[in-house]
Amino acid sequence: MRLVNKNLRLVYLRRKQSGKDKQGYALKGWSKAVPLLINLQPAGGSINAQIYGESLNYMLSGKYQGNLLKLAKNEGDGLCVDVGPEADPDYEIVAIQEFTMHKNISLKRRNK
């Protein structure tokens, strides 16, 4: 399955970063933005409604072709969908399902 170019949307991937400062306190932040082309749609379906309940209204479902997102590696990373690449991400990757030609990505809106 190939994704049609006219349906692809430019978003920015920001990976979660953590570390410690000089005093040993934990630092949390986001990496530099990496552009991605992804097909985004509102999440839906009876299975998702049973899993996520009322928070389904704040979720997106996406299809992605490429190698920047990996199963069990990028869950928890952020995507800048409705904000610029320098801002904190407004969506977080909840789940990634890998198929032969594409990946299904479940996104949940972050609380600011």
CA dihedral 109, 33, 29, 70 (to 10 degrees): 70
CATH number for region 5-109: 2.40.10.270
Q: Tens digit of pLDDT per residue, the chain (112 long)? A: 677 888 899 999 999 988 777 888 887 889 999 999 999 988 877 777 777 777 777 899 999 999 999 998 999 999 999 999 999 999 999 999 999 999 999 999 998 6
Instruction: Please state whether 102 falls in left (phi above 0), alpha (psi between -120 and 50) or beta.
Output: beta
Return the pLDDT at 25.
83
Which tokens hold the place of 23?
Answer: 């005093």
Which tokens hold the place of 92?
Answer: 């977080």
Return the pLDDT at 112.
67
Distance between the two ends of the chain, CA-based, in angstroms?
36
Residues 63 and 43 sit within 8 Å (Cβ to Cβ): no
Domain ranges of the chain: 5-109
Return the pLDDT at 1.
65
DSSP 42-63: E---HHHHHHHGGGGGGEEEEE
Return the pLDDT at 32.
94
Residues 89 and 78 sit within 8 Å (Cβ to Cβ): yes
Nearest to 93 by CA among 80, 106, 112: 106
Kindly report the length of the chain. 112
Return the pLDDT at 103.
93
